[in-house]
């Protein structure tokens, strides 16, 4: 899963990005509204963390522009604790949730997990597909109740497929959602990660739909 963090305070942006990467997300960072707008329109994100007080173009203007142009990714805005007017304006402009500064990173993570799940149509924190269980809170995977250790890229790929279970996901889409912009992207590595996941989780856990992509069945455990 891939996130965009938009924050003009370098230390906070670095802290947030580091925490999100530790939670197995691919993360891009923008330090101003102009850069954020460019990235959101040229890349694909599963969610955005957006500070409203940005240089060049303010966050509210950026958010309104995204929604007016049809961009629907979940957006979590960062606001000043006592500025309720800013919170209301952010929600009215199309934000899905907000966190007031100063905040605990754990709260940001929890709200992002919920936004990403709801955007994919899931209410429960644990995603289940056949014998597979993915705990979005702990970034853990188990197969038939047995914990399975995955690399960060394997987890991102499996997480994206399980969030979109029952749908065929193309290779290009997977590449867009498991790598940060700064990472050298190679679509061939998707096949490598799929092969590794099949070895760890079972040969039938991920289906190949020839010419289209990959799919995890919606069949419940």
Which domains are assigned to the chain?
Answer: 2-119 (3.40.50.2300), 126-215 (1.10.10.10)
Q: What is the pLDDT of residues 142-159, one digit of tens each?
A: 999 999 999 999 999 999
Question: What is the phi/psi pair of residue 129, to 5°?
Answer: -140, 110
* Residue 189 pLDDT grade (very low, low, confident, very high; cuts 50, 70, 90): confident
Residue 220 has pLDDT above 60, yes or no: no
Average pLDDT across the chain, whole number: 91
Spatial neighbors of 191 by CB under 8 A, at least 6 apart, are 171
| Among 218, 202, 207, CA closest to 164 | 218
pTM: 0.87
What confidence score (pLDDT) does residue 187 get?
65
Yes or no: say if 32 and 55 are a contact pair by the CB < 8 Å rule: yes
pLDDT for res 166: 87
Instruction: Specify the pLDDT at position 221.
Output: 43
pLDDT of residue 146: 95
Residue bearing the bigger pLDDT, 78 or 220: 78
State the pLDDT at residue 182. 67
Between CA 144 and CA 150 the distance in angstroms is 16
Taking the C-alpha atoms of residue 11 and residue 24, their distance in angstroms, rounded to an integer, is 20
Portion of the chain with pLDDT greater than 90, in percent: 76
pLDDT tens, position by position, 60-118: 999 999 999 999 999 999 987 677 888 899 999 999 999 998 899 999 999 999 999 99
Q: What percent of the chain has pLDDT over 70?
A: 95
d(CA 109, CA 54): 22
- Nearest-CA neighbor of 91 among 116, 67, 108? 67
- CB half-sphere exposure, 207, CA atoms < 13 A: 13
Our CA angle for 183, 54, 49, nearest 5°, is: 50
> Where do we find the tokens 């809170």?
137
Contact 122, 137 (CB under 8 A): no
pLDDT of residue 218: 65
**pLDDT in the model for residue 69:** 97
């Amino acid at each position: 899963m891939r996130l965009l963090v938009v924050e003009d305070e370098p230390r906070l942006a670095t802290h947030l990005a580091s925490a999100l990467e530790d939670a197995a997300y691919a993360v891009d960072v923008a330090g101003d509204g102009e850069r954020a707008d460019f990235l959101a329109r040229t890349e694909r994100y599963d969610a955005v963390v957006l500070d409203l007080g940005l240089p060049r173009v303010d966050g509210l203007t950026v958010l309104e522009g995204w929604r007016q142009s049809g961009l629907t990714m979940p957006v979590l805005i960062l606001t000043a604790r006592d500025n309720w007017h800013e919170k209301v304006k952010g929600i009215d402009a199309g934000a899905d949730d907000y966190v007031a500064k100063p905040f605990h990173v754990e709260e940001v993570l929890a709200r992002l997990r919920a936004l990403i799940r709801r955007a994919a149509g899931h209410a429960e924190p644990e995603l289940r597909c056949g014998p597979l269980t993915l705990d979005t809170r702990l970034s853990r995977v188990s197969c038939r109740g047995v914990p399975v250790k995955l690399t960060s890229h394997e987890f991102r790929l499996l997480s994206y497929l399980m969030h979109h279970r029952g749908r065929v996901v193309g290779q290009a889409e997977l590449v867009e959602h498991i790598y940060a912009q700064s990472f050298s992207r190679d679509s061939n590595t998707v096949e490598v990660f799929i092969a590794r996941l099949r070895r760890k989780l079972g040969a039938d856990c991920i289906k190949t739909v020839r010419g289209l992509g990959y799919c995890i069945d919606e069949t419940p455990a």
